[in-house]
């Protein structure tokens, strides 16, 4: 059967970086994100006996090698759950740049969990879908739900308590915005998966990162629910800088920053000092995302026009979670 799902990427305010179980994709610390309207992926999955082997096409390109093996491994999990031996054909399309630190794996993993579970005949609830999406990519567990989402790290060894839970829906704080500025559309060099593994193994203060992020995840949920924007922005910025300190102090060092990243950080701080309230967050790529409120968008847009390094911007408000749609990609 064929099914198609649409999901939005999420950007973490408190980041996930490091696993305690590689196979089950269980994180070392809890993380909190916003699912963003407009950073969308659509995926169609068809399980049928006419397919002799699995095949996967992303943005019109047939995928092989390690990225394909990851998808095939995920399909094996689904097949086991459904007791099926059927092979699948998958088409996926990102409506924003792939693998540039704009969290394409989160939207992709969420659509894959929803479309493939439906296509194979499983009827999973949100928790089941998030648990499944997590097996594809950790951050995907947070894109099943709309709005602000916490991925609790969980305690259980089997991972059944490690999934994305909604903190509040997308309409709870409609003025909240994240501006993603694309600085460089080249694919990143160090992928998150091996990168975070190296950090767990070699960063001398990795444990501090885990304890601190765990605390910050609790704090930020409170700031979201109380709509305390200043406190939220300061905390998110601090967490992002700590993440990149961990990356810098990994052997070999992981440096996602480019000169343009530093230029953007300085610009945001300068704007803030002059009374324009905005904060930054940065993931596994050079892009700087600006956290702000709707009222300040015109002024921030005006200022961003003056920065030549920015090729394109996406202004995103809290968005929908993963959902099934009728328009198939093939």
CB 41 within 8 A of CB 14: no
16 binds ligand DP6 (CB under 6 A): yes
> Three-state SS across 141-165?
HHCCCCCEEEECCCCCCCCCCCCEE
Q: Is 30 in the site for ligand DP6 (CB under 6 A)?
A: no
Q: Which stretch binds ligand DP6 (CB under 6 A): 119-127, 135-143, 179-187, 223-231?
A: 135-143
Tokens matching residue 275: 């009374």
Beta bridge partners of 293: 176
18 touching ligand DP6, by CB under 6 A: no
CB of 300 to ligand DP6, least distance (A): 23
Chosen residue from 8, 139, 162, 184 binding ligand DP6 by CB under 6 A? 139
34 binds ligand DP6 (CB under 6 A): no
Task: Confirm or reject binding of residue 105 to ligand DP6 (CB under 6 A).
Answer: yes
Span near ligand DP6 by CB under 6 A; candidates 72-80, 87-95, 133-141, 218-226: 133-141
Give least dist CB 54 to ligand DP6, A: 19
The token duo for 131 is: 């648990």
Residue with tokens 């829906």, as numbered in its chain: 169
Minimal distance, residue 100 CB to ligand DP6, in Å: 11
The piece of 50-58, 80-88, 137-145, 164-172 that touches ligand DP6 (CB under 6 A) is: 137-145
Residues 32, 102: Cα–Cα separation, whole Å: 16
* Cβ closest to ligand DP6, residue 5 vs residue 246: 246
Q: Which of 28, 43, 137, 143 binds ligand DP6 (CB under 6 A)?
A: 137
Between CA 224 and CA 207 the distance in angstroms is: 26
Determine, following the binding rule CB under 6 A, whether residue 193 of this chain makes contact with ligand DP6.
yes
Q: How far is the CB of 142 from ligand DP6 (least distance, A)?
A: 8
Helix, strand, coil fractions of the chain, as percent rounded to 5? 40, 25, 35
* Closer by beta carbon to ligand DP6, 74 or else 271: 74
Exposure b/e, 283-319, CB count within 10 A at least 16 = b: bbbbbbbbbbbeebbeebeebbeeeebbeebbbbbbb
Report d(CA 247, CA 253) in Å as an integer: 6
Q: Determine the Cα–Cα distance for residues 316 and 308; give it in Å rounded to an integer.
A: 21
Nearest approach in angstroms of CB 121 to ligand DP6 is 26
By CB under 6 A, is residue 41 in contact with ligand DP6? no
Using CB under 6 A as the criterion, what x/- string covers residues 233-272 for binding ligand DP6? ----------------------------------------
Q: How far is the CB of 205 from ligand DP6 (least distance, A)?
A: 17
Retrieve residue 31's tokens.
């993380």
Q: What are phi and psi of 82, to 5 degrees?
A: -95, -5
Q: Of residues 4, 6, 9, 15, which one binds ligand DP6 by CB under 6 A?
A: 15
Residues 18, 108, 138, 147: which binds ligand DP6 (CB under 6 A)? 138
Which residues does residue 59 pair with via DSSP β-bridges, in sequence order?
none
Contact between 220 and ligand DP6 per CB under 6 A: no
Widest CA span in the chain: 63
Q: Does 12 bind ligand DP6 (CB under 6 A)?
A: yes
Q: Select from 78, 183, 284, 292 the one that contacts ligand DP6 (CB under 6 A).
A: 284
Alpha-carbon span 79 to 73, nearest angstrom: 10
- DSSP letter assigned to residue 187: P
Distance of CA 307 to the CA centre of its chain: 26
Residues that bind ligand DP6 (CB under 6 A): 12, 15-17, 25, 31, 103, 105, 137-139, 192-193, 283-284
């Amino acid at each position: 059967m064929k099914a198609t799902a649409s999901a939005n990427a999420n950007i973490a305010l408190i980041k996930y970086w490091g696993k305690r179980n590689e196979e089950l994709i269980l994180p070392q610390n809890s993380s909190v994100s916003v699912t963003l309207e407009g950073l969308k992926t659509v995926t169609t999955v068809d399980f049928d006996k006419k397919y002799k082997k699995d095949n996967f096409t992303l943005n019109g390109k047939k995928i092989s090698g390690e990225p394909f093996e990851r998808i095939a491994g995920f399909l094996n999990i689904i097949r086991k759950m459904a007791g099926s031996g059927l092979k699948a054909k998958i088409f996926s399309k990102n409506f924003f740049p792939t693998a540039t630190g704009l969290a394409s794996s989160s939207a992709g993993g969420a659509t894959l969990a929803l479309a493939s579970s439906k296509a194979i005949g499983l009827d999973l609830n949100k928790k089941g879908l998030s648990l499944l999406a997590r097996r594809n990519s950790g951050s995907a567990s947070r894109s099943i739900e709309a709005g602000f989402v916490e991925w609790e790290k969980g305690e259980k060894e089997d991972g059944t308590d490690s999934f994305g839970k909604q903190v509040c829906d997308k309409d709870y704080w409609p003025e909240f915005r994240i501006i993603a500025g694309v600085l460089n559309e080249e694919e990143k060099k160090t992928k998150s998966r091996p990168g975070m593994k190296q950090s767990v193994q070699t960063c001398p203060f990795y444990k501090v990162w885990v304890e601190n992020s765990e605390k910050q995840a609790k704090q930020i949920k409170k700031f979201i629910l109380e709509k305390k924007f200043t406190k939220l922005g300061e905390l998110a910025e601090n967490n992002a800088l700590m993440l990149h300190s961990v990356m810098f102090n990994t052997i070999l060092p992981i440096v996602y920053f480019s000169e343009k990243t530093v230029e953007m950080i300085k610009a945001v701080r300068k704007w803030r000092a002059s009374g324009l309230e905005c904060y930054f967050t940065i993931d596994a790529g050079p892009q700087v995302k600006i956290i702000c409120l709707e009222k300040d968008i015109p002024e921030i847009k005006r200022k961003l026009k003056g920065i030549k390094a920015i090729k394109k911007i996406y202004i995103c408000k809290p968005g929908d979670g993963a959902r099934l749609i009728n328009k198939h990609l093939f």
